[in-house]
Structure 1
Amino acid sequence: MFLGEIVAAYADEECLEEGRPNAAKVKPTILMDSGYFDINSRVGSIFKACSGNK
């Protein structure tokens, strides 16, 4: 478990509504358990190997 304090946050003007971030416009990626998720679904796994440059 990680605990921390958010001391600053930044967002482009186009991601704000009435001065507050809109999660749908920010499109966050969240790490939970063993996977990465966007707002709607799982988008990746922390255990999946990368097939990048060899």
Structure 2
Amino acid sequence: MALDEPHKDDTVETVNGIQVAIADQVRHLVETVTLEKRSRGFVLTGVPTNDDC
């Protein structure tokens, strides 16, 4: 995850009013991911745990 401009091959979507660029090679890995704000910062939940990561 980065605060950067999208690359030309990225897919850009709006999620909860925020534009998000997703690289095609990781799209299948982030379809189930949620970014949650917790007391100590941000946490990614729902990250796949199989060997494809």
TM-score (norm 2): 0.29
Between 1 and 2, higher relative CO (CA 8 Å, sep ≥ 6) is seen in 2
Query: Which is richer in strand?
Result: 2
TM-score (norm 1): 0.28
